[in-house]
Amino acid sequence: MLGARAARQAGRFGPRGATLTARTNQWSRIPTQSLFTRAPGRSGRTKTTEEVTTTGPNLSKPLFPAPLVLARQLSGKPLPQRKLRLLNFTYRAAAWLGSSVLLIGVGIVGFFLYDASTYHTHPIKADVDIAALALNPRRGGPKNLPILEYYIDDDDSEEMRRQKDKPRLVILGGGWGGVSLVKELDPENYHVTVISPTNYFLFTPMLPSATVGTLGLRSLVEPIRRIIHGIGGHFLRARAEDVDFSLRLVEVSQVDCNGVEQRFYVPYDKLVIAVGSVTNPHGVKGLEHCHFLKDINDARKIRNKVIQNLELACLPTTTDEERKRLLSFVVCGGGPTGVEFAAELFDLLNEDLTQLFPLLLRNEISVHLIQSRDHILNTYDETLSKYAEERFARDQVDVLTNSRVSEVRPDTIIFTQKDADGNIIKKELPMGFCLWSTGVSQNEFCKRLINKLARAQKNRRAIETDTHLRVNGTPLGDVYAIGDCATVQNNIADHIVTFLRSLAWKHGSDPEKLQLRFSDWRSVAEQVKRRFPQAVGHLKRLDKLFAEYDRDQSGTLDFGELRELLRQIDSKLTTLPATAQRAHQQGQYLAHKFNKLARATPGLRANDILDGDLDAAVYHAFEYKHLGSLAYIGNSAVFDLGQGRGLAGGLWAVYAWRSIYFAQSVSFRTRMLMAMDWAKRGLFGRDLMSY
C-alpha cells in the first residue's frame, strides 16, 4: 500500500520532463514536445503535454487532449518524435473537422426548424371592423373630391387604434429623406401616412453596380410597407398632384384597374415633402435617345441595352462600322453617378467580356466620359479628381473635359470642346449607348407648389425652406421639405431687425439707429449661430470681423455696417449638396424634432414661444455635417473627407467603400443580399442575362 501510494505521489509530483513507466515505477526522461499545449515553465522553455496534465490541477488543459499518455502507457515505450507529431496532427485535424461538421449540421437543422415555424395557417375569412367613412368617404375641398379621413386598416391592431386620434403626419415620397424620418419617429406620437408612386425604398448609391450585374436589382430595394410596419403607419401607392395649404389637404392621384385616373384628398396636420428630383436636361435636344439612372427600372433598361449591344455585335450580319458604333458607350456627366457607371461598365467589359464573348469585341469597345468642367468629380478635392482621371487613362476610358453636349441623335453625340487656346471645336461621336447624368432639376409637382407660393419662393430650382426646414410662404410649422426637392435659404441679412430687436428694446432705441459695441456684436453673433448653424465657420474671429467692418473706426458698428457684414457672410454660404447623405440627415432631424414637439408642446407657456415660432422654442435649427463623399473608379475608390483631406487606393479602398455602403443599407435583408451578390460575382462572374 505504501509503495503504491508513493508511486502515485511520485507520478503526481515527479521531476520536470520525467514520466513514470507502468512496468518499472522508475523515472525516465522523455524529451518530447506536444504540438497541442504550450505552457511556459520557470526556465522559459515549453512544457510538454504530459507536464501540463500531470503537474497540478490548476494548470490549463488542452482543448483536445492528445492521446500520447495513453499510447505510452499501453506500449511502455516512448513513440518516435515524427510519429508523435503525425499522430497529434491527425487527432487535432479530426477533432476540428468533426466539430465543424457538427456545427454545420446543427445550423442546417436549426434553419429548417426556423423555416418550418414561418408557415402559418390563418383563416381566409374573418370579421373585420371598418369605419363606414373608410369605405365611403365624404366629399369636400376645392374640387369636391373624396377626403380620406379614415383608413380601412385603422382598426387592424391595437397600436393602429391608438393612433387614430393622433396628429396626422403625411410624408410625400419614399426615398432617403422620408424613410430616414420614418425609422427615427416615435410611433406613439403621430398617425403616419406615406404616399409614393413606388412601394419600395431604393438604395441609390449602388445603382451603378446594378446596371452591369455586379449587384442584383432586388438587393437594392426594401418594401415601404415593411419599413413603416414598425410604427403602425399607412401607405398609399399614389402620386401627389397639389396641396391646399389653407385647408391642409393633399391632392393625390392613382390609376385604377380600368386605366381611369382617380383623385382624392389626404388631410394632414404636418406635411413633409420629400419627392426628390428629376434629371436636369439643360435644354439639350434629343434626350429621348439617352438613358437615365434615377430608378430601379432605369438600371434594368441600361443593363438590357448593354447586353443587347454586345449580342448584336457578335452577329455575322453586323458590319465593322456598325459593330464599332454598338460598342461605343458614352456617359454625359462627370459627377459621382457618371464616373461610377463608367467604372462599373469598364469592369464588366474587362473582367467578363473577354471570357464569354469573342475577343474581337474587346479590341473595338470604347468608353467615353463627357464633362463640362475641366475635371471630373469637380466637387471633390483636386488631387482625387486627378487620381480618377489617371486611373481612367490607364484603363483606356476616354475622358473629354471642357466639353458640352449640344444635341443627341439616335446614333451620334454632337458636342463642343474648348481646347488649350480657348477655341471652341465642334465634334461628333458615334454611340450605341448614352447615359445622361448631368445634375438634378425640379419635378412638376414642386413647380406647381413654387408657382402657388411665388411671393415667398425666390429659387426657381428647388423649394426654399428656412433653417428649420419649413417651407417659406406656408403657415409656420405646417409644411416641411427635405432632400433633393428643397434648398435651405441663406438670408442672414434679411433678419437683421430680428437680431437687433432685443438690443433695441434694452437700449430704448430704434434698431436702425443702434450703435453696437463689441459686447453687443457678440450677442448678435450668438443669435446668428443659433438661427443659421451653417454660418458658424464664418463667425470664429468676431474681433477681426468687428474691426474690419468698423469703417469709421468709431469702436461701434452702425446698422449699415452690420448689414454689410451679414451680407458678406451670406455670400460665403454654399447650397447644400443634393445627395442621399443630406436627405438622410434632414429626415433624422425632422424625426427628432417631431418627437420632441409631441412631448414638449403641452408644457410650453406662451412667453416661451418667440414670435409664434414653436419649432425654435423646442428644437435647434438644422445643421448639415458633411461626412465625406465616396466614388468607385474601377477596382479602386476615392474618399473626399472635406477640408482638403482625402484618400485614394486600390482594392483596400474598394473593400472600405463596400463596407461603408453595406453598413448604411436600410435592412439586414438587403445587407445579406448585397454580401451574397458580391460573393457570386467573385465565384461565378457577373449576371449577363437580359430580362
Could you read off the pLDDT of 498-542 as tens digits, one per residue? 888 878 887 777 888 888 889 889 989 998 998 999 888 888 888
Confidence of residue 494 (pLDDT cuts 50, 70, 90): confident
Q: What is the DSSP string of 4-65?
A: HHHHHHHHHHPPTTEEE-TTT--EEE-----SS---B-TTS-BPPHHHHHHS-TTS---SS-
**Degrees to nearest 5, angle at CA 292 with 291 and 297:** 95
Neighbours of 471 (CB within 10 A): 25
Give the three cell numbers for residue 105.
449540421
- 334 compared with 125, residue with greater pLDDT: 334
Q: In this predicted structure, what is the pLDDT of residue 11?
A: 45
Q: In this predicted structure, what is the pLDDT of residue 5?
A: 46
Domain 491-572 adopts which CATH fold?
Recoverin; domain 1 (1.10.238)
For residue range 65-108, list pLDDT tens digits in order. Answer: 555 554 555 555 565 676 777 888 888 889 899 999 999 999 99
Q: What is the mean pLDDT of the chain?
A: 85
Q: In this predicted structure, what is the pLDDT of residue 72?
A: 53
Is the separation of the CB atoms in 243 and 259 below 8 Å? no
Is the separation of the CB atoms in 320 and 326 below 8 Å? no
CATH number of 287-441+628-684: 3.50.50.100
In sequence order, what are the residues at sequence separation of 6 or more whose Cβ sits closer than 8 angstroms to the Cβ of residue 221? 200, 201, 202, 203, 296, 670
C-alpha to C-alpha distances, 54 to 37, 57, 64, nearest whole angstrom: 13, 8, 16
Amino acid, single-letter form, for residue 245: F
Confidence of residue 8 (pLDDT cuts 50, 70, 90): very low
Nearest to 562 by CA among 524, 588, 595, 597: 524
Give the three cell numbers for residue 37.
499545449
For residue range 349-377, list pLDDT tens digits in order. Answer: 888 888 889 988 988 999 999 999 999 99
In sequence order, what are the residues at sequence separation of 6 or more whose Cβ sits closer than 8 angstroms to the Cβ of residue 411? 325, 430, 431, 432
Q: Is the pLDDT assigned to residue 17 strictly greater than 90?
A: no
Lowest mean pLDDT among 310-324, 336-350, 352-366, 386-400: 352-366
Q: In this predicted structure, what is the pLDDT of residue 614?
A: 87
Q: In this predicted structure, what is the pLDDT of residue 201?
A: 96
Confidence of residue 124 (pLDDT cuts 50, 70, 90): low
Q: In this predicted structure, what is the pLDDT of residue 141?
A: 93
For residue range 448-490, list pLDDT tens digits in order. Answer: 999 999 889 988 889 999 999 999 999 999 999 999 999 999 8
Q: Is the pLDDT assigned to residue 585 strictly greater than 70?
A: yes
**Taking the domains of the chain in order of start, what are their residue ranges?**
2-92, 287-441+628-684, 491-572
Q: In this predicted structure, what is the pLDDT of residue 613?
A: 81
